[in-house]
Structure 1
Amino acid sequence: MISRKSARSIGTAALAATGALAVGRMAARRAERAEAQWPPLGDFVEIEGRKVHYVQAGEGPHLVLIHGASGNIRDWTFGFLDHLTHRYTVTVFDRPGLGYTDHHPELSGPFDTRAEGPEDQAALLKRAATELGVRDEIVVGHSFGGSVAMGWALNHDPAAVVALAGATQPWPGGLGALYTVNGTALGGAAVAPLIAAFASEPWVASKIERVFHPQPAPEGYADHIGVDLTLRTQSVRANARQITNLRPHVVSMSRRYPSLTLPIELVHGTEDAIVPIHVHSEPLSEQVDSAHLTRLDGIGHMPHHVATEEVTAAIERAARRAGI
């Protein structure tokens, strides 16, 4: 005979399981709607069984664009790409687990806390770029993509690197609660589906405004980038795990930065509260003799959207310095 306490425990477990299944179904339906509304913009190249999503446009020397955390290719195609294709062959990638590039299959479990670091991601995207005929490339990375660009610089001999508000250095303190929780085994398994199912439009809008602050987010940006692609359960997990695992990678990478001699252009807003200039680009500019820092007074975390001329000028400087 089952005791009353055991019966309550069984009932609670059954209710929890039913709730988890319902949340999972809601998250899956939302993901299906997102993929229907924001389908892949480009094509795919396969690397060791993994699909890497890319857009390639323009003609001229090769330029690679790598997006930041919570992003995808569409961050670059919201106007910025059009400023480059008259001068360069531009290849834009989705990073692993975000947009439509496959997450590493061994790191995709709901309870896994591991993630591909910046150098791992650089290696994957370099192989994809090589398959696409990209050579002597200038690599441009924004935010987390800046760390991937620096991983590319350390290991794959690009012509030059441009880091826009690049997260390239160890930082003091911790991360926000959302990343910290979702980076854990239990958070990734239980909380990520809740976010995927229930994240509201006002909550998403507030996050976008925070990223652009003190500038306003451009009209139409949220609709263009397809935020709900980032809110798919697997993408929520991948994004959180990559961020929570980033610090030890940049600790190791930063020790090797002084050995770099290639042209590096750093562009960073002085009002960036997401990736502060004094923590990241200023120390990097002092570590690497070939690094040149452009400070953008009053600009926040999204210089490629709100200071486009200054960013394209930095890319041109990198090209000239590389003899391109």
Structure 2
Amino acid sequence: MAPRPRFSSVPHHALAALRQRPAVATAVFATGLLAATAVVNRQLARKAERENPPMGRFIHVHGVRLHYVERGEGRPLVLLHGNGTMIQDLQSSNLIDLAAERFRVIAFDRPGFGHSARPRGRIWGPNEQADLFKEALDKMDIDRTVVLGHSWAASIAAAMALRHRASVEALVLASGYYFPTYRPDLAAPSIPAIPVLGDVISNTISPILARLMWPGLMRKLFGPKPVPEKFAAFPVEMALRPSQLHASAEEAAMMVPMAVAASKTYSEITVPTVILAGEDDRLIDVEQSVRLHRVIRNSRLRRIAGAGHMIQQTEAAILMAAIDEAASISAGGGSDPRDVMTTNG
């Protein structure tokens, strides 16, 4: 009779040891689960990138690979998307196509979003991104441009006008956050930005939670209006990649501190500026824009009744009118009287 195969007793001893130490067993199980989750999230991110290849071209600036889309001819117009989104937000809104009928439109994926890189070990605040885009525009031989920034990027647009005054001829600032306020709602979204721990969370838990929270977040951002059908073209899975969630967390963590620093400089903005905000914005109070209008001497304020935060999506025509307005004031070489207008969205 053939001898029975002998199995190593090590797995048995290890299992016995884990049974005697439930805390260790739990830690081992949790570590394994997190590792498996990270692998799945990485695969989903690669799949999203394959299914949503770059729409435009790349330019390298100081070691940063920036993705951008260029459309149309005429006076240059730079479009900068908000936190957590990418070029497809501006594309699906039809704003790029509308603007390209009269302008040379350059829409960037900001660092860490879409297909643009976000090198570690650097601070990517409004000033740093303003300098980066200025260098990119120099490489494109663009001397002066109208700049539109939505939400978080409104601060970048303002920084460009302050730091590179000769390069910015007019500003359009939409749904921006400009002055520091008490924002406890930013605490949880900022956690993935914590060194080391944040990387673990971004690669494991954050994509799962983000998928669960996405519908509710969209209702908050678009409300009181419904999410428009055209937004279905936005690649959600690209926004849920660990790398992009980490970039979003960094910008959420910077939101109040950057407002503290920048709020002291807005009065120095001299270029024609059109400020827009939804009256019913559930993310950033319309009073932020009202207050900015009081500070920037050469500015106009457009309050959009019935609109929320995502006015580039729900009110693209009004945003386009604001671009034309800012460009017209700049071309006229002067500043028309300051005014406030409430527009029905």
SS in 1 for 2:121: helix
Q: Which residue identity is paired with 1:207?
A: L
1:90–1:301 Cα change, 3 Å: same
Aligned with 2:258 (options 240, 249, 254): 249
Aligned to 2:104: 89
How many percent of aligned residue pairs carry the same amino acid? 28
| Greater Rg by CA | 2
Aligned to 2:8: none
1:175–1:200 Cα change, 3 Å: closer
Alignment pair present for 1:217 and 2:232: no
Note the C-alpha offset of 1:246: 2.2
- Alpha carbons 1:63, 1:90 under 8 Å: kept: yes
Q: Which residue identity is paired with 1:64?
A: V
Q: Which residue identity is paired with 2:183?
A: G
Aligned to 1:117: 125
How far apart in 2 are the matches of 1:187 and 1:301? 31
How far apart in 2 are the matches of 1:212 and 1:195? 25
Alignment pair present for 1:76 and 2:76: no
Alignment pair present for 1:179 and 2:189: yes
Unaligned runs of 5+ in 2: 1-12, 333-345
SS in 2 for 1:83: helix
- Alpha carbons 1:30, 1:197 under 8 Å: kept: no
What's the CA shift string for 1:247-279, capped at 9, x where partnerless?
21221111011122111110111101111111x
Alignment RMSD (CA, Å)? 2.2
Note the C-alpha offset of 1:303: 1.5
Note the C-alpha offset of 1:27: 0.5
Matches within 5 A, 1:153-302: 153-157=161-165, 158-185=168-195, 188-195=198-205, 197-199=207-209, 203-222=213-232, 224-278=233-287, 280-302=288-310
Aligned to 2:29: 15
Aligned with 2:79 (options 33, 40, 65): 65
Which stretch shows the higher mean deviation, 12-21 or 262-271? 12-21
Unaligned runs of 5+ in 1: 108-114
What's the CA shift string for 1:75-113, capped at 9, x where partnerless?
111111111111100000011111111112325xxxxxx
Q: Which residue identity is paired with 2:60?
A: E
How far apart in 2 are the matches of 1:277 and 1:213? 14
Runs of 4+ in 1 over 6 A off after TM superposition: none
How far apart in 2 are the matches of 1:236 and 1:182? 8
Which stretch shows the higher mean deviation, 199-208 or 127-136? 199-208
How far apart in 1 are the matches of 2:306 and 2:25? 56
Note the C-alpha offset of 1:116: 1.0
SS in 1 for 2:66: strand
Which stretch shows the higher mean deviation, 213-222 or 173-182? 173-182
How far apart in 2 are the matches of 1:304 and 1:125? 21
1:60–1:46 Cα change, 3 Å: same
How far apart in 1 are the matches of 2:105 and 2:269? 24
Matches within 5 A, 1:284-323: 284-323=292-331
Aligned to 2:7: none
- Alpha carbons 2:186, 2:252 under 8 Å: kept: no
How far apart in 2 are the matches of 1:307 and 1:11? 54
Note the C-alpha offset of 1:196: 5.0
1:148–1:159 Cα change, 3 Å: same
Aligned to 1:111: none
- Alpha carbons 2:95, 2:320 under 8 Å: kept: no
Aligned to 2:337: none
1:258–1:202 Cα change, 3 Å: same
How far apart in 1 are the matches of 2:118 and 2:201? 19
How far apart in 2 are the matches of 1:216 and 1:73? 21
- Alpha carbons 1:268, 1:294 under 8 Å: kept: yes
- Alpha carbons 1:196, 1:232 under 8 Å: kept: no
1:291–1:310 Cα change, 3 Å: same
